[in-house]
Structure 1
Amino acid sequence: MNFDEISRVAQTLQQRYEANQNYLYALKNWILDLKPQIQEESFINRLNGEYSILESMEEDDLARATKALKQRENAIKKIVSDYNVWVNQQNQSRSTSNSSVTNSRQNSNTGETLLTEGVKKFNENDFISAIRNFSKYLEQDKNNTDVLFYRALSKSNINDNYGAIEDYEKIIRLKSNYPLRVAKIATVYNNKAYALVKLGKIQEALPFVETALEMDKSEWFIWDTRGEIHYELGNYKESISDLTKAIKIEENEHSYYLRGMAQIKIGLNKMGCIDLSKAGQLGNDKAYEEIEKYCNN
């Protein structure tokens, strides 16, 4: 092979490696999103097994791992399918056993149906329908912090930030008597902070993310939230420090994008442009707009 042919092969392998690396990260994030929604330990254990396999694959030659990654995706889909079958069986069993009970028990069945439908709509990104189902469920069980959390997430996804904040505040008030199971309470404080950021209430958001970090320093998105707050306040060095911690925990396009912009703000254009390129590679389209502005002169 001549030099040009060798170069093309190397470029092709590099492109495959980067595509498969993104594929692997997407599968890992998918598992992390699925686990809080599953309440049966056997299915959680199966997801944990898939996550461990994906972690071990990070050390492999990802350029040649397309088939193996597709197998892992199919395995995750099979777990989700099996879990849905199990949920339906459980619901059918409850429906059968409750056919002759009192009206209050029938109301309970209605609540389970609303909850199941709400989670289904949430997973389908039909957030308005999800909010309706969760709200109807909460008429029967108003202090269910797990359902409040799902409703808050649904509201955030349609930019109903005031509504999300109201639900997060209620979870915080109820946390000792009605413990949250689907997420950490630190995540609630973080999410409230981020909703305030989206409303432009930057100073007001800072104490809540500080509380979140006092509770839990292991989640990348909490460091990312404080990094964004510092960026909006013009504290670029503090922002870079927090975003670096977020990236060390988990590489993500948002932290790379913000860190790149913060570095450019303090004159570190080369480093900033490298981060923006990484952000774009991970899926942040806005990063390429900033590259055009700051990195091609």
Structure 2
Amino acid sequence: MHAAQKTADEFPTHPKGKRARILLTSVFGPYAQDDEFGSRSINPMELYHNQVTRAQGSFSLRMFHRSWGIMLIQANISAPCTVLDFPTRPDFARELKQHQYDVVGITSIIVNLAKVREMCRMIRSLSPNSTIVVGGHVAAIPGVEHMIDADHIVRGEGVSWMRRYLGEDEKAPVRHPAIVSGMRTRIMGIRVPDRKGSTAATIIPSVGCPMGCNFCTTSAFFGGKGKFVNFFETGDELYDVMCRMEKDLKVRSFFVMDENFLLHRERAMRLLERMKQGHKSWS
């Protein structure tokens, strides 16, 4: 029985608890290839060029974004945890062979289902004692538990699930990792130099959406209409996170990844108040 099917009383826990060795990984590259795992047209793996600025053609921004979900999980569990982001197949195979992981977690978007299936096969072959956990939007595919060989399918917010799975406090405060919003930026084929502080940091105040539009996978994925998870309830908490990132990453701008950040008006207005008090620029 997969994790998504279990009742609260049957929630899975790992026998090693906090001592379990964890590997969290995104799907392997190369991306946007016409091969057995997809095509250039359906999985280019780019937020901007594939979605936000796709109509701008050659003037579109081209960049990659880290797998924020697994970074957030890593920062919020005490078990030893390795993150492998954008690996090649040989990278992934080497990691499995060289280390004995108790749990291997895979995150993916829906179009990369074939890669998730292949990674599950590789884990069974190269690290047969590892428990396989699959999350991310690929978990929203109806019947996905019958399409891939995974032990647990995690739908929705992953930090509390992994904490609970490892016997940790699922309600403990969330620690926000230092995340740069984009990397390997190109425009018109020219690579933009990577300089510390030149790219905005990413802030994730919450996941889900309380609006529940019937066409939106976000609402469905995080529990449906009216359901959302606030990682930070107050503007003061967010301000402290932003100040820490400002210091650690040398940034002065922030990309807020939240479906409805301004819908939580009290939190947003308190953040603005703190920014004014701290003489921070805002727009």
TM-score of the aligned structures, taking structure 1 as reference length: 0.31
With a CA cutoff of 8 Å and minimum separation of 6, indicate the structure with the bigger relative contact order.
Answer: 2
Structure with bigger strand share is 2
Larger fraction in helix? 1
Q: Which has the larger radius of gyration?
A: 1
